[in-house]
A and B are shown apart, each in its own frame.
Chain A
Amino acid sequence: MADEIKVALLGQPNSGKSTLFNTLTGAHQHVGNWPGKTVEKKDGYFVHGSRKYLVSDLPGSYGLSANSDEEVITRDAIAGEDADLVCVLADASQLERNLFMLADIAGIRTPLLLVLTMIDVAEDQGKKIDVELLAKRLNIPVTAIVAPDKKTYGDFFEKLDQALNHPTLLDTTALFRLFSEGESKALYAEALELVPKTGIDRFSKEWLAIKLLEQDEVVSAKIAVKAGIEPVRKFVSAAKDGALYAGDCKFAWIETVLDGVAVKTKEPSKLLTRFDRAAIHRFWGKPIAIGIIILGLIMSMIAAAPFMGVAALIPSSLGSLIGRLTDFGVSQDLISFINSTVVLALSWTISMLGFVFGINLVFGLIEEIGYMARVSYVFDHTMSKLGLQGKSVMPMLISVGCTIGGAAGTRVVDSWGQRILTIALVWAVPCGATFAVIPTLATAFFGWGGILVMILLFLIMFLHIFITAKIFGRTLSPVAERTGLIMELPPYHKPRWGAMFMMTLNRVWEIFKKAFVIVFIVSVLFYFMSYSSSGDVEGSFLYRVGRTIEPVTKIFGLGWQTFLAFVASMVSKEAVLGVLSAIFAGSGNIFSSTVGIAKADANLASLVTSEISKPEALAFMVAVTFNVPCLMALSSTYQESHSLSWTLKIALYYIATALILSMITFHAARLFF
């Protein structure tokens, strides 16, 4: 019978260990438990040449500390007299991480073979591994395979024979030198004094000393038997950050080992690298981000223009078509109703869709290429000035899409007070619906000057966030001290145009369905509230309510009509268009009595703009933007905060600030218009 060789497979999770085990042993496997443990034990065998190999698939673990049963079992199996050879598997595409296992096994006197897996993935990533140089540095055989492909195992079998015929131990000189020359060298020297000079079994004195530094309980107990409990206890309590020192030494060793071994064949674009440095620069990052956002808004409005054109044609074209229904005996009242509700709701919605399309496409592109995370990064410093955690910036970015998502996103913020504060700030960020409704109105009132309106709203948003943070931060415990936060920024990507267009069109369709229904329902509701069959305007419910509240609404720069639209925007931003649609182009009664002219059939956008002054329009847009985002956001805030009291406080605060901002805007705008 052939020689029986015992081989143990060791590696971190997902290093390809089980794939190699299955490929080698095929059906010759036995699965059980390690004695006295619930950890799975997988053994198998294969024959190659004149040898029969008994293979143990050791539990996957990140290292060999005594943090779990798996790790203790693994190191005992390696150090026991059983294993003739340990194959350490390392994912070649993530060598920096995977070689930690090799650094952790260093000092266990067992012959090793390093098996680099996923070499194909590494090559795809543009990493070339110099296997020979690595083997020379480590003093052990090294081979590279693609674990699921047995055709790539030729070199593995050769190196397996080499490792068994001429067993070698890992060269640990450089690693242990780092320990004995580093910052905590005295502590390491003290540990070496405590451990037996010849080590214990296959564990060298250096390995034991390092584990003592790491406060490994199992090793500490073993050493205490020989060196005494008290000296070991004293040492362990002195080496509080020993694990940190050990980790730093091991990674410094890995860095030295890999120097010149792992070479990148694909260098990132120099232009992109320079841009990225500027994009995340403490000073230049902000103007670049603001510039890109403004450019994004301009491009969104350009993309929206064709939709606006189509929408403007709908009332006249579709309206005249519906007008012909009189030929079939349909009453004028019904035609007026259809024109004021269905046709105008359709016109507003299509007009709005232009901005939904433009903003989703342009800002989707910014996110898709990987720039959006950089925007959050450059504004993080500003967040810290407001006493917020760095992680708070991401929910705020999400809320550009939807306030509900932003509120839910605050779950990453650890402290409750910080979460509430972040939710309160998330409300100040205009959501997707606001980004659809407000540009529609801004373009209707100010034409291309709508871009300036949008920039003004952004400036007010920053001011709002600053003031809100100061007000709420007082009671919601701002972070006094911020220590180390690292943001992993995604690499730049080429945009997936197909997926982006599909996503944008999907969003446009979803918003169309929702917005049309809301605008239509609100239009119908307000149509009937403003209807007076007698023709007596004062008999209309809406007119009476409007006239009653107008002395108050005027304080905030809003007429009663725009004030009602402001109230409706708390339910949903799209409802604003429904209210305006119904009030200004409804039955004609309210409108004609209020402004003295019957214009029910005119183009609504021009009708509204001709009857609302520019200062009032500006004040109205400010009020709507910074009002309660919608009822769903209110509900989401309650769900996330679990506090009715804070939910109501935030809502009342936003209603009050929206009206105050509206008043200020109105009076300031009167200086210019």
Chain B
Amino acid sequence: MDSLLDLLRGLGTVSAPELARMISSSPEMVEARLEYYVRSGYVRKTVFDAADCASGCDKCRGCVGKRRLSRPVVFWEVIKK
């Protein structure tokens, strides 16, 4: 059994599918473990969603109401506790 957090501390940026492959696990399991780390205060989760900008400039793909096409991107960041 490996400590996923120890592994993450040694990595730079990694994608969730790559991380799952690295530890021979499923992306769902990786996500569940990351959520636990968030609750325990070891990891910070940030959702990057253009719709949150609220500038209302109507230029990027986030600000078009129901027709929005932008897909949120989730970042999980290891923090020093």
Residues of A within 8 A of B (CB): 62-63, 67, 94-97, 100, 178, 182-183, 243-245, 247-249, 251-252, 254-255, 276, 280, 364, 367-368, 370, 372-373, 376-377, 380-381, 384, 390-391, 394, 398-399, 401-402, 404-406, 408-409, 411-412, 431-433, 482-490, 496, 499-500, 502-503, 506, 510, 632, 636
Contact A405 B59 (CB under 8 A): yes
Contact A247 B33 (CB under 8 A): yes
Tell me which residues from 1 to 48 in chain B have a Cβ below 8 Å from any Cβ of chain A: 1-5, 8-19, 25-26, 28-37, 39-40, 42-43, 46, 48
Contact A487 B35 (CB under 8 A): no
Main secondary structure of the interface of A (DSSP, over half): helix
Select one of B17, B58, B67 contacting A276, CB under 8 A: B17
12 A-B pairs besides A412-B75, A484-B14 with CB distance below 8 A are: A97-B35, A183-B1, A247-B33, A247-B40, A280-B17, A368-B69, A380-B13, A482-B13, A485-B13, A486-B16, A487-B73, A489-B15
CB distance from A633 to the nearest CB of B (A): 10
Select one of B2, B52, B69 contacting A500, CB under 8 A: B69
Cα distance A370–B15 when bound, in Å? 14
Contact B32 A398 (CB under 8 A): no
**Sorted from nearest, which 3 A-B pairs have the closest CB atoms?**
A401-B60, A402-B59, A484-B8
Contact B70 A367 (CB under 8 A): yes
Known A-B contacts A484-B11, A484-B78, A486-B16; the reply to A632 vs B70 at CB < 8 A is no
Residues of A within 8 A of B26 (CB): 96
Cα distance A255–B17 when bound, in Å? 17
CB distance from A344 to the nearest CB of B (A): 25
Cα distance A368–B64 when bound, in Å? 14
Contact B31 A97 (CB under 8 A): yes
Residues of A within 8 A of B10 (CB): 483-484
Known A-B contacts A405-B57, A510-B58; the reply to A482 vs B69 at CB < 8 A is no
Contact B14 A486 (CB under 8 A): yes
Residues of B within 8 A of A490 (CB): 71-73
Cα distance A489–B76 when bound, in Å? 11
CB distance from B72 to the nearest CB of A (A): 8
Known A-B contacts A384-B12, A394-B73, A486-B34; the reply to A252 vs B61 at CB < 8 A is no
Residues of B within 8 A of A398 (CB): 50, 53, 60, 62
Known A-B contacts A97-B32, A401-B61; the reply to A506 vs B67 at CB < 8 A is yes
Cα distance A244–B32 when bound, in Å? 14
Cα distance A401–B53 when bound, in Å? 13
Main secondary structure of the interface of B (DSSP, over half): mixed
Tell me the nearest residue of chain A to B27, going by C-beta. A488
CB distance from B21 to the nearest CB of A (A): 9
Question: Could you write out 17 A-B pairs with CB less than 8 Å apart?
Answer: A63-B39, A96-B28, A96-B31, A100-B32, A248-B5, A376-B73, A380-B12, A380-B13, A391-B75, A405-B62, A483-B10, A484-B5, A484-B76, A486-B13, A486-B14, A486-B77, A502-B67
CB distance from B48 to the nearest CB of A (A): 5
Select one of B12, B31, B40 contacting A485, CB under 8 A: B12
User: Chain B interface residue count: which class?
Assistant: 35 or more
Contact B75 A485 (CB under 8 A): yes
Residues of A within 8 A of B14 (CB): 484-487
Select one of B31, B37, B55, B61 contacting A247, CB under 8 A: B37
Known A-B contacts A252-B1, A490-B71; the reply to A485 vs B78 at CB < 8 A is yes
Select one of B8, B46, B54 contacting A412, CB under 8 A: B46
Contact B71 A100 (CB under 8 A): no
Residues of A within 8 A of B67 (CB): 499, 502-503, 506
Cα distance A566–B49 when bound, in Å? 33
Contact A486 B8 (CB under 8 A): yes
Residues of B within 8 A of A96 (CB): 26, 28-29, 31-32
Known A-B contacts A394-B48, A487-B15; the reply to A408 vs B32 at CB < 8 A is no
Interface-centre pick from B33, B39, B50, B60 (highest chain A CB count, 10 A)? B60
Residues of B within 8 A of A252 (CB): 1
Cα distance A506–B34 when bound, in Å? 39
Select one of A249, A402, A487 contacting B60, CB under 8 A: A402
Tell me the nearest residue of chain B to A256, going by C-beta. B1
Contact A503 B15 (CB under 8 A): no
Cα distance A394–B61 when bound, in Å? 13
Contact B71 A431 (CB under 8 A): no
Known A-B contacts A367-B70, A373-B71, A376-B73; the reply to A405 vs B19 at CB < 8 A is no
Cα distance A492–B27 when bound, in Å? 15
CB distance from A41 to the nearest CB of B (A): 24
CB distance from A326 to the nearest CB of B (A): 41
Residues of A within 8 A of B76 (CB): 484-486, 488
Residues of B within 8 A of A406 (CB): 60
CB distance from A434 to the nearest CB of B (A): 12
Residues of A within 8 A of B4 (CB): 248
Tell me the nearest residue of chain A to B29, going by C-beta. A96
Tell me the nearest residue of chain A to B5, going by C-beta. A244
Residues of B within 8 A of A482 (CB): 12-13
Cα distance A274–B28 when bound, in Å? 20
Residues of B within 8 A of A412 (CB): 46, 48, 75
Contact A432 B12 (CB under 8 A): no
Select one of A376, A384, A483 contacting B9, CB under 8 A: A483
CB distance from B45 to the nearest CB of A (A): 9
